[in-house]
Copies of this chain bind each other. A is one copy, B any other.
Amino acid sequence: MAARWLSKEEQRAWRAYIEAVRLLQDALDAQLQADADMPHAYYEILVRLSERPDRRLRMAELATGTQSSRSRVSHAVARLEERGWVRREPCPSDRRGQLAVLTDEGYDALAAAAAGHVAAVRETVIDPLSREQLLALADASRAISAAVEAMRDHGVRSRATP
């Protein structure tokens, strides 16, 4: 397979993208860590749980919902449980399964964190972009997500040839 490089324009675009991604992630992580003492990944777990009427979710659903591995969620929920923000329950319909349940303390922690986090998101992403830009960003993002999932599934055609 001939290695096809990026054009100057593609290169510039790609770098602008990952640069923004890194800066943003670090900034949001730092903001949440400083203001709410939790990493962004934990925040997202609490958000997903809070959106459920019964405030509970299977571990696997939590994993797919937050685009993370089962192992990550398992470790994270263990930590959240130590803090009393989440509790585990056995799943009635499948005895292998576990339900992560958001506790009242967890809900309070989320409520306390949310305003600051949303303000930061607004300040760094929503407000600096026009509506068209934001929608374009979302479109491009969906295309990227689809492509990543496609690559994951069909097993990376372009793997380094051994």
Chain A residues packing against B (C-beta within 8 Å) = 1, 3-6, 9-10, 12-14, 16-17, 19-27, 31, 34-36, 66-68, 112-116, 118-129, 133-149, 151-152, 156-160
Known: A19-B141, A116-B158, A139-B133. Contact between A10 and B126, CB under 8 A? yes
Copies of this protein in the complex: 2
- Can you spell out 10 A-B residue pairs with CB atoms less than 8 angstroms apart? A6-B121, A19-B145, A22-B67, A23-B67, A24-B148, A35-B159, A123-B158, A129-B140, A133-B136, A133-B140
Known: A156-B120, A160-B36. Contact between A20 and B141, CB under 8 A? yes
**Could you say which residues of chain B place their CB within 8 Å of the CB of A141?**
13, 16-17, 19-21
How far apart are the CA atoms of A78 and B133 in the complex, in Å? Answer: 40
Tell me if B143 and A133 are in contact (CB < 8 A).
yes
A-B contact sample (15 more), CB < 8 A, given A24-B144, A133-B139:
A3-B119, A4-B119, A6-B121, A17-B138, A19-B67, A21-B21, A22-B67, A23-B145, A27-B152, A116-B160, A125-B147, A128-B146, A133-B143, A136-B136, A137-B137
